[in-house]
Amino acid sequence: MAKLIWLCLNFVLLRSSVEAVFEDQVGKFDWRQQYVGKVRFSHFDTHVQSSKKVLLATENNVFAALNTRTGDLFWRHVDKAGPEGNIDALLQHGQDAVLVVGNGRLLRSWEINVGGLNWEIVLDSGSFQWACLVGQQDNVKHVAVLKKTVISLHYLSNGHQKWIENLPESETVDYQAVYSAGNGEVYALGVVPHSHIAIVVYSVEDGEIIKQISVEAPWLSNIQASCVVIGPGMLTCVDPATVSLYMLDLHTESQMTQIPLQSLGLEVAPGFHPVLVSTQPNPTRQPLSEFFLQLGPEHYLLLQLKNGQIVTLRDFKPAMLVSFATTGEKTVAAVMSPKNKTACSINLFNAETGRRLLDTTVIFNLDPNGGKPEKLYVQAFLKKDDSVGYRVMVQTEDHTLTFLQQPGRVMWTREEALSDVVTMEMVDLPLTGTQAELEGEFGKKADGLMSMVLKRLSSQLILLQAWISHLWKLFYDARKPRSQVKNDVTIENLSRDEFNLQKMMVMVTASGKLFGIDSKTGSILWRHYLDNVPSNAAFKLMVQRTTAHFPHPPQCTLLIKDKDTGLATLHVFNPIFGKKSHITPPALPQPILQSLMLPLMDQDYAKVLLLVDDQYKVSAFPSTKNVLQQLQEMASSIFFYLVDSSQGRLSGYRLRTDLSTELIWEVVIPTEVQRIVSVKGKRPNEHVHSQGRVMGDRSVLYKYLNPNLLAVVTESTDLHQERSFIGILLIDGVTGRIIHEAVQRKARGPVHVVHSENWVVYEYWSTKSRRNEFSVIELYEGMELYNSTVFSSLDRPHAPQVLQQSYIFPSSISTLEATLTEKGITSRHLLIGLPSGGILSLPKMFLDPRRPEIISEQSREENLIPYAPELPIRTEWFINYNQTISRVRGIYTAPSGLESTCLVVAYGLDIYQTRVYPSKQFDVLKDDYDYMLISSVLFALFFATMISKRLAEVKLLNRAWR
């Protein structure tokens, strides 16, 4: 029995090892980049002088620690997406970091060294307002949490609630801030807008109300935006209407003191709302008496409260950003000022005197392809001579984090805009100089035979020279240590590889920043930030000209559309170098409803982009005379559709010869019953290799390959689980004919759809069975093909045969896409992004509606898998093995030069690139192929043939002499 158990264990271990990725293959054809997103809160770990951590809480609901030396992640925690995982506050003391999450729903404490969770508690319901650490007798033992109606105090060591109290008059008073200075009291500050300030003082020990006062403040509406606490509990507010500072001593006074800024010799920039910046380095002590007052976009003053009077320590103009930092008992103020158009200077100043510290200048060079500085974070430390040194982390408008140290050396840069990629394309790399020369040899007409011979000789000489230089580089690098051999990829040495596996990934982010990334290494080759992009913009990236048309440069066009107004702009650029094109795009004064890429080309081989505005007028880009002439000639064969989901209307239009539009069909879906969720067409670069499927009896079942077919997904407006449903309509985009309609009752979204060849696969949630399900629809013409040469939507007398089947999937999914190859010969796989971070490659054969329940001889001939309602998830189907991809939002697939290989990019919070082989690598020799053996066999056969030939000749000669 023991031997049997041992054999079973060995079998399990052996099986698991077979399903794993070989160690030497990890990172060979794939890479992953992890991001955290736009920073909301940041704290440097200062409890140890030699600490190398900076804590970040981001708008992507991520809490992470970065290495300040390299910018790499020490650890990262990704919370739930949306408001439920929103990080409201970050407090740090020693080795503990306290987070308030989900609008005050959770209070968490993390150990910052390893990122472990110390404790987590659920707070009482209520809208979160403020949180602060509460110290007493030089020890921080509590954290106070303020909500709309209650205030609670919790132990910092275990999170247990010490006391909770209802806020008085919370129906009328809007409590917005909480403050403590280590004197055993906690202050809750509230406001009745344009009436008065309410101050409630609680005892730290038992939560009893010590004092409650009300102070008239008819000019105040928001404490968080207008007020700070400075010095010995002095509430200081700024009022832009009266251009004055108002001060209130929280301990003694019951009336605010007005100090007009004009009396201090200060003037606010027109239309600017003044801002106050203060700091409280130690929760057990009072805040600093020094604070910043911002009077304009680039105007700050360092002020000090001294003997009840406001004193100006220093005037900073121009100044872009300011920040306080503390190390030991010293507090400094960092000020970033513009130096010139391309650089900024950061200087340190003594916070108590305003005197500039010597030798503390850091130069921050502005990226011409980036945004302006937005936030400044300072890490101060004491040097051996007791002077203050510092490092700075700058966040710019394009969400880039740059870490600098004196005198301005950039230690690392993180492009956090890549955590929010919205669309992307892959572009083939250009040819090398020698490849372009060969292309030119065949592309130009020679004058004669001699000229062609000379061209061929010169091309061969160039190839020989390139080959010799390559061999010399290999020999030169082989003599160096491996660590000194640099294979950095730059724009200058980018060129297409033999099998077109290396491409340029053009990514567009939500912040309006464009990136060009090498698909082989993940290196960022170029970046470009677009100014004045609306926060709610929609992007559409189109490749108008590829690198195939040498010497014309490749060209991409980005359509940027404001979702509110519909107004759009075009950005035309070179996808290889990232440079803006010299071609001026047309102005778009009217809102754009639809954009489509036509197969027409201008004289420079750029595809024509057709734009339809809200007046149903059509404009073309480029709009040359040649293009307009082609449009007039082909107008009768150009059709497009418009979707109005708010009205439930799907409309089809045709282009007239005068470039006006004509409505030819319309499908209206009643919005009170269901709404349009998505409309999915086929990818224009998709190729279909086989027109039919060979049956078990050797007959052919022909596919219904309609390139104009649209898959329209609808969802019921009634969300009740008994009445909810998912609908799918297959509509011909040219005629408006409904080819097929299917309804999944007792189902709801989100719905993920893939539309390819003659099939549609969609996934939804079954409310009846409480599980995720896949449905597949396949369309066939039958055993006879109506027209084997050209497909026309206007000439289809017979409806296609429809096969449909549903399957159970044991997991929810985040996104769905199908593999794509150059010729379409390779089997198709579905790439499924899971919430767990895995990317599953599911063979399409498992989603075949013809899978039989009972196996027959013909089904065996077709290699059909017997029907099983539940789809399996096998570990060897995960293409990213242990490389988790957080919050996968999209998967992009592109063909390579090898028919067996499909390039895959998954993007979300992270970016992952790899290759998949749906039908294995049938066109590539394996890495462990024994070249020496086959070469030896070939040489042996060659010599054996020569020897045998000689022996045969001798034998024939001897026979002739007999």
pLDDT tens digits for 686-741? 888 888 888 888 889 999 998 999 999 999 998 888 889 999 999 999 998 999 99
Percent of the chain with pLDDT over 90: 55
- pLDDT over 70 at 91, yes or no: yes
Q: For position 803, what pLDDT does the model report?
A: 93
CA dihedral 852, 857, 859, 864 (to 10 degrees): 100
pLDDT tens digits for 648-689? 899 999 998 888 899 999 999 998 999 999 999 999 888 888
Position 236: which residue type? T
Cross-strand pairs, 711:
680, 730
Among the listed ranges 86-100, 201-215, 455-469, which one has the minimum average pLDDT value?
455-469
The answer, yes or no, to whether the previous bond of 869 is cis (omega within 30 of 0) is: no
Kindly state the helix (H) or strand (E) to which residue 449 belongs, with its residue range: helix 449-478
CA angle 565, 570, 574 (to 5 degrees): 155
Q: For position 489, what pLDDT does the model report?
A: 56
Q: For position 115, what pLDDT does the model report?
A: 92
pLDDT tens digits for 149-158? 999 999 999 9
Q: For position 79, what pLDDT does the model report?
A: 93
Q: For position 892, what pLDDT does the model report?
A: 96
Q: For position 527, what pLDDT does the model report?
A: 93
Average pLDDT value for the chain: 88
Which of 36, 57, 48 has the alpha carbon at shortest distance from 113? 48
b/e map of 163-176 (b: 16 or more CB within 10 Å)?
bebebeebeebebb
Q: For position 480, what pLDDT does the model report?
A: 66
- pLDDT over 80 at 11, yes or no: no
Which of 344, 347, 297 has the alpha carbon at shortest distance from 317? 297
Region for 193 from its dihedrals, namely left if φ exceeds 0, alpha if ψ lies in -120 to 50, beta otherwise: beta
**Residue 16: pLDDT band by 50, 70, 90 thresholds?**
very low
Region for 656 from its dihedrals, namely left if φ exceeds 0, alpha if ψ lies in -120 to 50, beta otherwise: beta
- pLDDT over 80 at 433, yes or no: no
Maximum pairwise Cα distance, the chain: 138
417, exposed or middle or buried, with CB in 10 Å at 0-12, 13-18, 19+?
buried
pLDDT tens digits for 221-277? 999 989 999 988 899 999 988 899 999 988 887 788 899 988 888 888 888 999 999
Among the listed ranges 290-299, 446-455, 565-574, which one has the minimum average pLDDT value?
446-455
- pLDDT over 70 at 23, yes or no: no
pLDDT tens digits for 184-221? 899 999 999 988 999 999 999 988 999 899 999 998 99
Q: For position 387, what pLDDT does the model report?
A: 86
- pLDDT over 80 at 456, yes or no: no
pTM of the model: 0.89
Report phi then psi at 238, rounded to 5.
Answer: -125, 135
pLDDT tens digits for 929-941? 888 889 999 999 9
Count CB neighbours of 687 within 10 A: 13
Residues sharing a CB contact under 8 Å with residue 390, sequence separation 6 or more, in sequence order: 325, 332, 334, 348, 360, 362, 378, 379, 380, 381, 406
Mean pLDDT of 388-414: 92
- pLDDT over 80 at 13, yes or no: no
- Structure tokens of 200? 């409630």
Q: For position 806, what pLDDT does the model report?
A: 93
Mean pLDDT of 273-298: 90
- pLDDT over 60 at 17, yes or no: no
Q: For position 136, what pLDDT does the model report?
A: 81
- pLDDT over 70 at 438, yes or no: no
Query: For residues 641 and 653, what is the distance between their CA atoms, to the nearest angstrom?
Result: 6
